[in-house]
Structure 1
Amino acid sequence: MVEWMQNLMNELGYLGIFLLMILENLFPPIPSELIMPSAGFAAARGDLHLLGVVAAGALGSVIGTLPLYFIGRAYGEKRLIEWADKHGKWLTLSGKDIKRADDWFDRYGSGVVLFGRLVPGIRSLLSLPAGMSEMPLPKFMLFSALGSALWAALLAYAGYVLGDNYEEVEHLISPISKVVLGLVALWAAYVFIGRKRKQSAE
């Protein structure tokens, strides 16, 4: 898979990065943790420009979120979970994955669309509960764009710095994801306490 991704980027440049990041959102087995660092390495070699790499990756990621968002909006959680349990194996997607993403969304609110883009394993699926919850499209697009741009910049720069060791980025992401999870949990606790205080005051 890595060789195929590299060949596509070598042949199509920024367009290849854009297309791969769209696919990464639709087919989770294609990891952005390899796409963007590889593109960053190409920028380090002088084949591409780092800002162009980040822009192409972020734009592709945002466009890639839309199909799942509209699917989530058109169908309910129950129907999607049933479909994933029957037919989701070829996407390495299960009903449990959808339920977990929906629980995340319910627990942390719409802000999880922004912060969740920095968490592998969750980031690609967040569009479904956002659509199921009928999150306003402009707000969804804004949060997705900010989170995707930050994620793309982080990965591309890591690949730029690591050079031909860019594949090591995948191992470095885990600690960063844990930090993000911790921050999201603190933010959720703050929101929860604020709501409780407001309810008490009322």
Structure 2
Amino acid sequence: MLALIHTVSGWLNHVGVLAVTVVLFIECFGIPSPDEIILLLSGYLVSQHRFSYPVVLLAAVAGSTLGGIGAYWLARLGGRPVMLKYFRFLFRTPERLDYWERYFQRHGDIIVLVGRIISGVRAVISYPAGLFEMSLARFVLYTVVGSAIWAVIAVTLGYILGPHVVSALESSKQYEAPIVGGLVVLGALWWWWERRRRRIRESSHS
């Protein structure tokens, strides 16, 4: 963890805020990237008057938006055959894919908006948006808003923590496993609830 922090710090020192744009751009394709670290460290550098707060936010939103649009078009052009071929473990059948498409059409706006704020989810949320052909204008709008909210939270936190941001990142490592475990449990409960509700709806129509 400490080595990664030093690496990201080196990027910021040598490349400047452009490093923020690049890291967040890459993240949107589902490639593991130190987005939290680079935004927190950028907030610390803002507190040291080495970076401009508005410029860091603009760099973050630009990276997330451009990367999101790229991933959106990859999924949209690849389409359903690619998803059923390479992601069958998620959808299993065309019928299951149809179900998720209807769900995304009803709740796509809020899914993209909130997904841009949640760690892990923001790295892949562009793919279902493209696959299910969400309006590009709506996708960009909610991507920009969600990315801005996330950037404000992370950069401001780094600014407040100031010189303690590195020790805070080190301390947070012990909470990673419980948080991931909690998210897995919540995801399983949500899947069970959706499946139960669908069965009830199907039985009522039969």
| TM superposition score normalised by structure 2 | 0.69
Q: Is 2:74 the partner of 1:71?
A: yes
Partner of 1:58: 61
Partner of 1:42: 45
TM-aligned CA distance change 1:74 to 1:43, over 3 Å:
same
TM-aligned CA distance change 1:37 to 1:135, over 3 Å:
same
**In 2, distance between residues paired with 1:52 and 1:119?**
22
- Superposed displacement of residue 81, structure 1: 5.7
Q: Is 2:99 the partner of 1:109?
A: no
Partner of 1:118: 117
Contact 1:40 1:155 (8 Å CA) reproduced? yes
Partner of 2:19: 16
Percent of pairs with identical residues: 26
**In 2, distance between residues paired with 1:60 and 1:30?**
12
Contact 1:33 1:169 (8 Å CA) reproduced? no
1:1-202 to 2 correspondences below 5 Å: 1-80=4-83, 82-83=85-86, 96=90, 103=100, 106=103, 109-110=107-108, 111-167=110-166, 168=168, 171=172
Partner of 1:199: none
Contact 2:30 2:124 (8 Å CA) reproduced? no
**In 2, distance between residues paired with 1:4 and 1:81?**
38
Structure 1 residue matching 2:122: 3-state secondary structure: coil
- Structure 2 spans left out of the alignment, 5+ residues: 191-200, 202-206
Aligned residues: 172
**Structure 1 stretches of 4+ moved >4 Å:** 102-105
**In 1, distance between residues paired with 2:62 and 2:76?**
22
- Superposed displacement of residue 26, structure 1: 2.4
Q: Highest Rg: 1 or 2?
A: 2
- Superposed displacement of residue 147, structure 1: 0.3
How big is each residue's C-alpha offset from its partner over 1:93-137, in whole Å with a ceiling of 9 and x where there is no partner?
A: xx549x9xx959936612211111111111111100000111111
